Amino acid sequence: MDILLNETQALLKDSAEKFIERDYSFDVRRLVSSSEEGFSRVIWNKFAELGWIGLSMPEEYGGWGGNLVDLSVLFEEIGRGLIVEPFLSTSVLGGSLINYNGSENQKKSIIPDLINGKLLLAFAFTERHSRYNLADIETTASNTGEGYIINGSKSIVIHGSTADKLIVSARISGESRDEQGISLFIVDANAEGIKRRSYQMVDGLSGAEIILDNVLIPHENIIGEAGLAYPIIEKVIDEACIAICAESVGLMSELVRATVDYLKTREQFGTKIGSFQVLQHRAVDMFNSLELSRALVYRSAETISNVDDTKNRARAASAAKVQVGRSGKLIGQQAIQLHGGMGMTDELSVSHYFKRLTMLGTLFGDTDYHLKRFVMLGEN
């Protein structure tokens, strides 16, 4: 049951599939993920050449001008290939924050280099106590004569240690969890006062804890109007939710495919274990769950691409996160179970898909968080 793609989307999907088949085998992924930077600059440049990094960036800066549906097509393939390169952090998070709220100068100086693979961004927003609340930040930015001085610490910054610039959310006024008073700042990652502690993450990507100690940044590095960044942050994160839901759909389709294949191949008791009805029904449960998720994710992507109101956008994002969170758990856990002992090994790719899928279930909010949010958004 295929989503109806338009011609450019179909071409994008096709070229992504070919790339993964030719240049991004699981062995390559393993090598790249365990390398010093946690991804491959060579491959990143290839993505730049293919125009993928700038997929959702405006054409006037060299991007494709694609919408969230186009992005979902790409992210599904990123999932299918278990790709570790910094798309989410650089393009979907950093790029969108600049694109939606940045000044002409900021866009001109950042977006083209982002698109051609020369500039890497990371979004530093979560803090130790924030959990999933985007407004629960205590990092401060004080306005002085020379610029803004930023103080605080940021957690779980995806691709934080390889970023050239950090987009940092900080409070210029208000109390913890006030939506008012939050601003976004472009911070040079090598600025004085920045300390980055990098680590591998459970799903093979890289992350960082970042401390900002009296970091002075020029006034023109604030993005948009002072104290009014929250709505933009929420919008970008909702779109990022769709991107990672699409990535999850890609991960889940590979897990379903691999599991059905294993069931048809593995023999015990003198027969292929796929001949047992119990296991067939389990595989069907996985398949059905995948289909429901894929359909809802694309519907949510469509909705968000076409409507402008916050409530509908938020509902669409949270609905997708809940559906995918549930699916991800079912499909991930059953893929391991049905692979038996082999599913537990590091050697097979199955467990790596499972780990990435599991972590995406938590990123930008877990199922309970999004259920609660959906409820609080009120009736349709």
Does residue 352 belong to the site contacting other proteins (CB under 8 A)? Answer: yes
106: CB partners within 8 A, 6+ apart: 98, 186, 220, 223
Question: Is 144 or 176 the residue whose CB approaches other proteins more closely?
Answer: 176
Q: How many residues does the chain have?
A: 380
Note whether 337 binds other proteins by CB under 8 A.
yes
Query: For the window 278-317, what string marks contact with other proteins as x by the rule CB under 8 A?
Result: xx--------------------------------------
Q: Should residue 345 be labelled a site residue for other proteins when binding is judged by CB under 8 A?
A: yes
Give the Å distances, CA to CA, from 170 to 123, 148, 237, 288.
12, 10, 16, 43
List the one residue out of 366, 102, 56 whose CA is nearest residue 222.
102
Minimum Å gap between C-beta 45 and other proteins is 27
Q: Which residue has the tokens 């991930």?
A: 332
Nearer to other proteins, 105 or 268 (CB): 268
Q: How far apart are the first and last CA of the chain?
A: 28
Q: How many CB atoms lie within 10 A of CB 92?
A: 26
- Answer for which of 195, 197, 219, 264 binds other proteins (CB under 8 A) is 197
Token pair belonging to 2 = 């295929």
- Please identify, using beta-carbon distances, which residue of 85 and 209 lies nearer to other proteins: 209
What's at 351, amino acid-wise? S
> Which is nearer to other proteins, 94 or 343 (by Cβ)?
343
Please state the φ and ψ torsions of residue 110, each to the nearest 5 degrees. -115, -45
The backbone torsions φ and ψ at residue 152, rounded to the nearest 5 degrees and listed phi first, read 155, -170
Per rule CB under 8 A, is residue 359 in the interface with other proteins? yes
Q: Taking contact as CB under 8 A, which single stretch among the options 89-97, 179-187, 315-323, 358-366 is the one that binds other proteins?
A: 358-366
- The DSSP symbol for 228 reads B
The closest alpha carbon to 102, from 215, 236, 240, belongs to 236
One of 199, 265, 306, 307 touching other proteins (CB under 8 A): 199
Contact at 8 Å (CB) between 124 and 197?
Answer: no
* Interface with other proteins (CB under 8 A), residue from 36, 145, 308, 341: 341
Residue 354 contacts other proteins per CB under 8 A? yes
SS3 state of residue 377 = coil
Binding span for other proteins by CB under 8 A among 15-23, 60-68, 125-133, 285-293: 125-133
* Contact between 129 and other proteins per CB under 8 A: yes
One character per residue 151-170, x = contact with other proteins (rule: CB under 8 A)? ----xx--------------
Only one residue has tokens 């600025």, namely 191
Residues that bind other proteins (CB under 8 A): 126, 128-133, 136, 155-156, 176-177, 197, 199-203, 207, 209, 267-270, 278-279, 329, 333, 336-337, 340-341, 343-347, 351-352, 354-355, 358-359, 362-363, 366, 368, 372
